[in-house]
Amino acid sequence: MHDSKLHRRDLLLAAAAGLVGCTGTTGTPSASPPKPAPLPPAKTTPGLALAYFAAFGVDEKLIREGLSAALEKGAERADLYFQHRVTTWLTLEDGEVNRASTSVDLGVGVRAVRGDQTGYAYTEEIGLDAIRNAGATAAVVANGASRAAPESFRVGELPRRFPAKLAWDGVPVGKRLPLLTQLDTKVRAGDSRIRKVSISLGSEHGAILVVDSEGRVFEDLLPMAQLYLSCTAEDKGRRETNGYNLAGRAGFEFFNEERLARVAKEAVARTVILFESVAAPVGEMPVVLAAGASGILLHEAIGHGMEADFNRKNTSIYADKIGKNVAKDLVSIVDDGTLPGAHGSIDVDDEGNAPEKTLLVDKGVLATYLHDSISARHYGVKPTGNGRRESFRFAPMPRMRSTYMLPGPHEAEEIIRSVKKGIYCSRFTNGQVEIGAGDFTFYVKNGYLIEDGKLTRPITDVNLIGNGPKVLERVDMVGRELEFDDGGWTCGKNGQGVPVSLGMPAVRVSSITVGGRKS
């Protein structure tokens, strides 16, 4: 809690406590089938109908009081963000599921906005006095005559991109336990050298309610399914650890047999291959990034730098580059909130705006920043639906959702064949970026040496470091097949973590610094 928060922008593949080195995966996009549920048409109060939060005592009077308090000093806009979330983890270790933890988050955040200034407060009590106090605290950012709360409220329709077929609140713990024990058995059966397996299965059940001073109301259910698996193998006294990290916005149905079989197989393969690994090379060289989790490159090299708050403040390396060429014309990059069931998907952003598929780079040309409502006003554009927050305890800011590169003209084989001496990287654990200088890193958990156009010996535990704009210019081959990673990536910025997703076709970066070691 004492560590500096201002300057942090990093991306982590979330891991159970003490676990380092879980990786994401390539493979099919994580998704429940895209079947938007039918919705009632938008309607107008009186009689504001809240499907979820009415049970928590949230009604029109409470909402009106909260907004009125936030607007009483003349803020231009205000919003309320109610959240209820029940998170449950079950953990298997040494063959037994003998640990469970469950937590409840309930509260409401009140925000008052004047220009690009924000006042924020939250309360964990849902009640008239509590919300009035929070509103009055947030209101102090302004200094003028009171504004009125809206006359009426409209409940907006949502696309329901991640309906839970088996909602978590209806799945007792007893039904979840066999998933862990069966997975444990599969992993141990996968290789006789596996010594330790730990598995954590997590669920989130809950909803958010966004209400703003325009009278817009959105209530959304936010299910989440998560799995962390780590295994340690031992061979002739040498130990290696790796694992699998899986997450999606879904209910219990997410953990189907096919998916779990793939997790077990992959986790074992990623671990035992490390016994053959050699020290990674040192210095600048060509790097081939596999389709899938390599989207971490985009997240760090350009994604953060395109978040409009950094550009509004003139502190991003991309601050004056809109409309300029930043990459070869085979490179197009999007940030997309609309993928069905993806870890980084949303139905509505955390200030009530619809998410888009936002084009960051269009055939090599820098196209659009990622906006929240404050930066959209600053630039006089429509918000892109990137206003997100960790929880009701935080004010929103521009954040990525699912970031990926569109497919290009090359075959993956052809890309590997083109490299005489370099490395190939497929699994990653984390990355970080300095927004202003543009320098970024990402950490490779699984990869190979490329020698004379062929993958030869495996490598692991090597950091790659480059400069965003320079590396983008050096992406000179792009594969035909776009793959999405199904890992539970958490993006950290200014002390707030939000779920995001990554995708990528195979690409070649003609040169980047590889941080191996001379042994």
Partner 1 sequence: MSENLLDRAKDALTLAKKAGAADAATSLRRSREVITKWRDGKLENVSDAVSRALSIQLYVDGRYGSMSTSDLRKAALERFVGDAVAMVRALAKDPQRKLPDPSAYADRTRDDLEIFDPKLAELDANARLGRVRALEAGARGGDGSGKIVSVTSSFTDYTGEIARVTSNGFEGSYQHSYVSEECEVSVKDSDGRRPSDWSNASVRRYADLPASGVTGRDATARALARLGAKKVASGTKTVVIEARAMPSLLRLLIAPLSGSNLQQKQSFYDGQVGKRVASPVLGLSDEPLLGRGLGSRPFDSEGMTLKRRALIAAGNLEGYYLDVYYAAKLGLSPTTGGPTNLVVKPGTKSLDALIGDVKDGFLITAFLGGNSNATTGAFSLGFSGFLLEKGEKRQAIAEMNVAGKHLDFWKKLSLVGSDVYPYSTLRSPSLVFQGVSVAGT
Task: Show contacts with partner 1 in window 358-397 (CB under 8 A).
Answer: 393, 395
> In the window 285-314, what residues touch partner 1 (CB under 8 A)?
313-314
Contact with partner 1 (CB under 8 A): which of 24, 27, 29, 107?
A: 107
Smallest distance from partner 1 to CB 119, Å: 5
Transcribe 34-94 into DSSP letters.
Answer: --PPP-PPPEESSS---TTGGGGT--HHHHHHHHHHHHTT--SEEEEEEEEEEEEEEEEET
Query: Using CB atoms within 10 A of its CB, is residue 322 exposed (0-12), middle (13-18) or buried (19+)?
Result: middle
Name which position in 214, 420, 437, 454 contacts partner 1 (CB under 8 A).
Answer: 437
Q: Which stretch binds partner 1 (CB under 8 A): 41-49, 58-66, 136-144, 344-352?
A: 136-144
Among 39, 189, 282, 381, binds partner 1 (CB under 8 A): 282
Does residue 36 have a cis bond before it (omega within 30 degrees)? no
CA distances in angstroms from 407 to 44, 337, 414, 507, listed in the order given: 44, 18, 15, 10
> 């102090």: which residue's tokens?
140
Closer to partner 1 by Cβ: residue 218 or 392: 392
Footprint (CB under 8 A) of partner 1, residues 220-279: 230, 232, 234, 239-241
Total number of residues shown for the chain? 519
99 binds partner 1 (CB under 8 A): yes
Distant-in-sequence, close-in-space partners of 314: CB < 8 Å, separation ≥ 6 = none
Place of tokens 């016994």: 275
Nearer to partner 1, 146 or 463 (CB): 463
Question: Which of 442, 448, 484, 489: binder of partner 1 (CB under 8 A)?
Answer: 442
Question: Looking at 59, 60, 65, 93, which residue binds partner 1 (CB under 8 A)?
Answer: 93
CA distances from 248 to 48, 224, 368 (A): 31, 6, 27
Q: Quick check: 158 binds partner 1 (CB under 8 A)?
A: no
Q: Is the dihedral of CA 187, 188, 189, 193 positive or negative?
A: positive
Other CB atoms within 10 A of residue 90 CB: 20
User: Which residue in the set 40, 47, 174, 323 belongs to the binding site for partner 1 (CB under 8 A)?
Assistant: 174
Least Å distance, CB 154 to partner 1, is: 28
Site for partner 1 in 396-425 (CB under 8 A): none
Among candidate residues 277, 326, 263, the one with its CA nearest the CA of residue 424: 277
Amino acid at residue number 373:
S
Give the integer Cα–Cα distance in Å for 89 and 99: 8
Contact positions with partner 1 (CB under 8 A) in 320-349:
320
Is position 434 an interface residue for partner 1 (rule: CB under 8 A)? yes
CB of 188 to partner 1, least distance (A): 14
CA dihedral sign, ordered 322, 337, 34, 504: positive
CB of 117 to partner 1, least distance (A): 6
The residues in 40-59 that bind partner 1, with binding defined as CB under 8 A, are: none
Minimum CB separation of residue 8 from partner 1 in Å reads 10
Residue span binding partner 1 (CB under 8 A) among the ranges 90-98, 398-406, 449-457, 498-506: 90-98
SS (HEC) of 466-516: EEHHHHHHCEEEEECCCEECCCCEEEEECCEEEEEEEEECCEEEEEEEEEC
Does residue 105 interact with partner 1 by CB under 8 A?
yes
Q: What is the DSSP letter of 116?
A: T
Among 58-66, 255-263, 460-468, 475-483, the segment contacting partner 1 (CB under 8 A): 460-468
**Smaller CB distance to partner 1: residue 255 or 392?**
392
Encoded tokens for 449: 């040496």
Give Cα separations from 144 to 118, 139, 147 (angstroms).
15, 10, 9
Cβ nearer to partner 1, comparing 278 with 406: 278
Structure-block tokens of residue 349: 């952003």
Which listed residue (319, 322, 365, 406) binds partner 1 by CB under 8 A? 319
Say whether residue 185 binds partner 1 (CB under 8 A): no
Residues 110-129 that bind partner 1 (CB under 8 A): 116-124
Of the residues 25, 26, 45, 137, which one makes contact with partner 1 according to CB under 8 A = 137
CB of 395 to partner 1, least distance (A): 7
Q: How far is the CB of 100 from partner 1 (least distance, A)?
A: 4
Nearer to partner 1 by Cβ, of 36 and 495: the residue is 495
The answer to whether 192 contacts partner 1 (rule: CB under 8 A) is no
Q: Kindly tell me which of 243 and 251 has the beta carbon lying closer to partner 1.
A: 243
CB nearer to partner 1: pick between 47 and 174: 174
Subset of residues 5 to 44 that bind partner 1, contact rule: CB under 8 A? 5-7, 10, 17-21
Residue in 353, 467, 496, 501 binding partner 1, rule: CB under 8 A? 467
Count other C-beta atoms under 10 Å from residue 10's C-beta: 18
Which residues, 6+ apart, have CB-to-CB distance to 508 below 8 Å? 286, 287, 288, 289, 415, 418, 419, 475, 476, 477
Nearer to partner 1, 149 or 280 (CB): 280
